[in-house]
Amino acid sequence: MALLLTAAVAAVACKPEPIPEPEEPKTTVEIDESIDVAPEGGNYLLEYFVDNLSGTLSATTEATWISDVALSDYTLTFVAANNLGKSAASREANIDIKCGEEVLASVAVKQASEGELTLQMEVSNISPESIDVTVTPSNDNMTYFIGIAPKAFIEEMGGVDAYVLIDAEAYRTSFYGDILDDYLAKGTTTKTITIQGAPEEPMWVYVAGLSRAADKTRTPIVTTKAQHYEFQFLPYPELSLQSYSVDFTADESGTYSIPYSIDYPIEGQELTFTLADGGENWIHNIRVEDRKILFDFDANPYPIERSTQLEVAYKYSPSCIFDIRQAAGIEMTNVEFEITAVELHYDRVVVDCTPSNSDVKYIVGAVAKMDFEGAPYDGDSTKIPEFDLASSYPSYVIAQGKTEGITLNHTAISYDPQWYIYAYAIDDAEQRAISTVTMELVTLVEDRPYFVWEDSRISSNAISVDNTEQTITVKYKVENAHATGVVTVDDPYDDVLIKGADGKRITHDPVAQTITFTVSANTTKKSRSTYAYLTYYSSEDDKSSDANISLKINQKR
């Protein structure tokens, strides 16, 4: 019996133990344990590594100043708000990386405060409606707000510290939407603040550090105590002249002075001057000396009264207008003109002119209708001699006695189809008019010359020929040609393709209106081409052409 028990015990003792199940490999995350972020906040990124991922990773934080926490492509990203408030202190928060509910890693986000931020404000250039403000921050990354308002109003609203937020909120919730960012400055800035019709009371210009809340939907954060500078806009200057007009006789010339005064002048500001109605032709050298405006003026050699206005301006003050008039220089001579347009073209008028006094010299000219009716003539024919005789580039003809076929070349239908032709008598020195101006309105004719080819082989200004040597004659015509018209022909650039007789590459017959050229045989394996050029001039003396055409000569291979 004992033997059996022993055997049984032995059998139990020798029974093998069960093999344990292998453990599941754990998910692990490797990432920096901490990160320091700047006091001004911003976007941040950390790389991480994961092993044996089983499930979905997520990242969370309980800190309200950390937002937009996300995991993507083995990177952790987040946004830290700024820590620039006046009472800001260093702060720290964790971002936990989890798999399910299990925290696999934590990142400590540490943000220091900037400490005390400061702004230095300087003002300059105070005027009747503007002031320059220069602000220098202790930290170039901080943002700040510059504003201005009457002192009494700011104090009524609770003082400058309270008014900063009132002003900022007005821009954040304005009719145009949130435009506060347009008014926040950064770095050293000089800003000119302008208020037209500025109030005549003490003003405060102020500056305060101001930062947007991270979500931009809350009242901005004031980061520095507001500073202000009290001032008053300067009074508006008042310019006045001792007199406001002068009348000169025709033979007067010399220097004239106008005493003036300025109440509340502004340092550095000077008078400026503008002359109207061609006054610069006889008023010169305007200047200021000893509280007087001086100008030089010429005698009037013309048989018309002339006038101008001198506008005197001083910044921030209404301008003063000084009228200057001068009597006519001489008595008018009773000379009448019969002026007739005998030819009208697109670029010129040919006139006949007969004066009632054949002994006088006279001017024949033309002026575009739209010019005559606008400045500086303003529809006044008495101004024509004034501008003609003062011109550095005369566009008129001087004649005497009865004249026929006077050509006025400066007219152009492309500029104005209607022109006034005119005539008036001048003195022997050709310096002034001695009669009234006779005028006639004419309308130019669109008769611009142009070439046409009278050869059926030519299409689109091109002619095609085969590869053999041959002589070709083509006929042209000039439409709207003038009796004095001239056609010139330029040789082609190609020295091989075209060979003319007697060494001439192109023979031109202006009477038959033909050009003749010889094409050499084409022994190459390529087609080739060249051009002949024809130009038309209204006369041999013309410097500019009236029409051009080219003939392209294409030869087959």
CB-facing half-sphere around the CA of 260: CA atoms within 13 A: 26
C-alpha of 26 from chain center: 68
Please report whether residue 77 resides in a domain.
Answer: yes
Residue-wise DSSP of 112-148: -------EEEEEE---SSEEEEEEEESSTT-EEEEEE
Domain closes at, from 387, 420, 443: 443
Longest CA–CA span in the chain (Å) reads 177
* Averaged pLDDT, 139-166: 93
Please report whether residue 418 resides in a domain.
Answer: yes
User: Total domain count for the chain?
Assistant: 5
Whether 500 shows a pLDDT value over 90: the answer reads no
Position 4 confidence tier, pLDDT thresholds 50, 70, 90: very low
Whether 281 shows a pLDDT value over 90: the answer reads no
Domain shared by 299 and 253, yes or no:
yes
Render pLDDT for 372-415 as a digit per residue (tens, 0 to 9): 999 888 999 988 998 888 887 888 999 999 999 999 988 999 99
Domain shared by 57 and 159, yes or no:
no
Residues 6+ apart with CB under 8 A from 89: 113
Domain shared by 359 and 439, yes or no:
yes
CA distance between the termini of the chain? 130
In 10 A of CB 143, how many CB atoms? 22
Whether 230 shows a pLDDT value over 80: the answer reads yes
Residue-wise DSSP of 409-464: TT--TTT-SEEEEEEEEE-TTSSSB-SPPEEEEEE------EEEE--TT-BTTEEE
Please report whether residue 5 resides in a domain.
Answer: no
Render pLDDT for 521-551 as a digit per residue (tens, 0 to 9): 888 888 888 888 999 998 888 788 889 999 9
Of the two residues 5 and 64, the one the predictor is more confident about is 64
Position 497 confidence tier, pLDDT thresholds 50, 70, 90: low
Give the per-residue pLDDT at 334: 85
Whether 504 shows a pLDDT value over 70: the answer reads no
Which uninterrupted H or E stretch holds 370? Answer: helix 369-373
Domain closes at, from 275, 302, 326: 326
Q: What is the CA radius of gyration of the chain?
A: 47
Domain shared by 436 and 479, yes or no:
no
Domain shared by 311 and 359, yes or no:
no
Report whether 339 contacts 351 (CB < 8 A): yes
Domain shared by 198 and 255, yes or no:
no
Give the per-residue pLDDT at 73: 86
Tell me what percent of the residues of the chain surpass a pLDDT of 70: 92
Three-state SS across 23-40? CCCCCEEEECCEEEECCC
Average pLDDT, the chain: 88
Give the per-residue pLDDT at 498: 64
Give the per-residue pLDDT at 473: 94
Give the per-residue pLDDT at 22: 65
Give the per-residue pLDDT at 324: 97
CB-facing half-sphere around the CA of 302: CA atoms within 13 A: 21
Residue 291 DSSP class: T
Domain shared by 188 and 254, yes or no:
no
CATH number for 53: 2.60.40.10
Whether 219 shows a pLDDT value over 70: the answer reads yes
Report whether 142 contacts 192 (CB < 8 A): no
Give the per-residue pLDDT at 15: 58
Which uninterrupted H or E stretch holds 68? Answer: strand 66-72
State the Cα–Cα distance between residues 154 and 229, nearest whole angstrom.
12
Cα separations in angstroms, 543 against 265, 343, 477: 59, 21, 22
Please report whether residue 314 resides in a domain.
Answer: yes
Give the per-residue pLDDT at 493: 63
Domain shared by 307 and 348, yes or no:
no
Q: Which two tokens stand for residue 40?
A: 């001004």
Would you call 383 helix, strand, or coil by DSSP? helix
Domain closes at, from 111, 132, 155: 111
Which uninterrupted H or E stretch holds 340? Answer: strand 337-344
Domain shared by 459 and 550, yes or no:
yes
CATH number for 167: 2.60.40
Q: Which two tokens stand for residue 325?
A: 């008039």
Tell me what percent of the residues of the chain surpass a pLDDT of 90: 61
Give the range among 44-53, 84-93, 306-315, 489-498 with minimum mean pLDDT: 489-498
Render pLDDT for 338-383 as a digit per residue (tens, 0 to 9): 999 999 999 899 999 999 998 899 999 999 999 999 988 899 998 8
Report whether 209 contacts 221 (CB < 8 A): no
The residue behind tokens 């037209």 is: 196
* Averaged pLDDT, 499-527: 80
Domain shared by 455 and 439, yes or no:
no
Please report whether residue 529 resides in a domain.
Answer: yes
For 387, the domain range is 337-443
Give the per-residue pLDDT at 284: 95
Domain shared by 128 and 218, yes or no:
yes
Please report whether residue 23 resides in a domain.
Answer: no
Please report whether residue 253 resides in a domain.
Answer: yes
Strand ordering across the sheet containing 57-60? 34-37, 102-111, 91-99, 57-60
Amino acid, single-letter form, for residue 357: N
Whether 495 shows a pLDDT value over 60: the answer reads no
Amino acid, single-letter form, for residue 384: I
Please report whether residue 19 resides in a domain.
Answer: no
Amino acid, single-letter form, for residue 217: T
Domain shared by 103 and 54, yes or no:
yes
Render pLDDT for 480-493 as a digit per residue (tens, 0 to 9): 988 889 999 987 76
Give the range among 1-5, 14-18, 137-141, 281-285 with minimum mean pLDDT: 1-5
Give the per-residue pLDDT at 544: 81
Report whether 530 contacts 553 (CB < 8 A): yes
> The whole model's pTM is what?
0.50
Give the per-residue pLDDT at 439: 96
Burial of 553: CB neighbours in 10 Å, binned 0-12, 13-18, 19+: buried
Render pLDDT for 31-86 as a digit per residue (tens, 0 to 9): 999 999 888 788 999 999 999 888 889 999 999 989 999 998 899 999 998 887 66
State the Cα–Cα distance between residues 447 and 454, nearest whole angstrom.
20
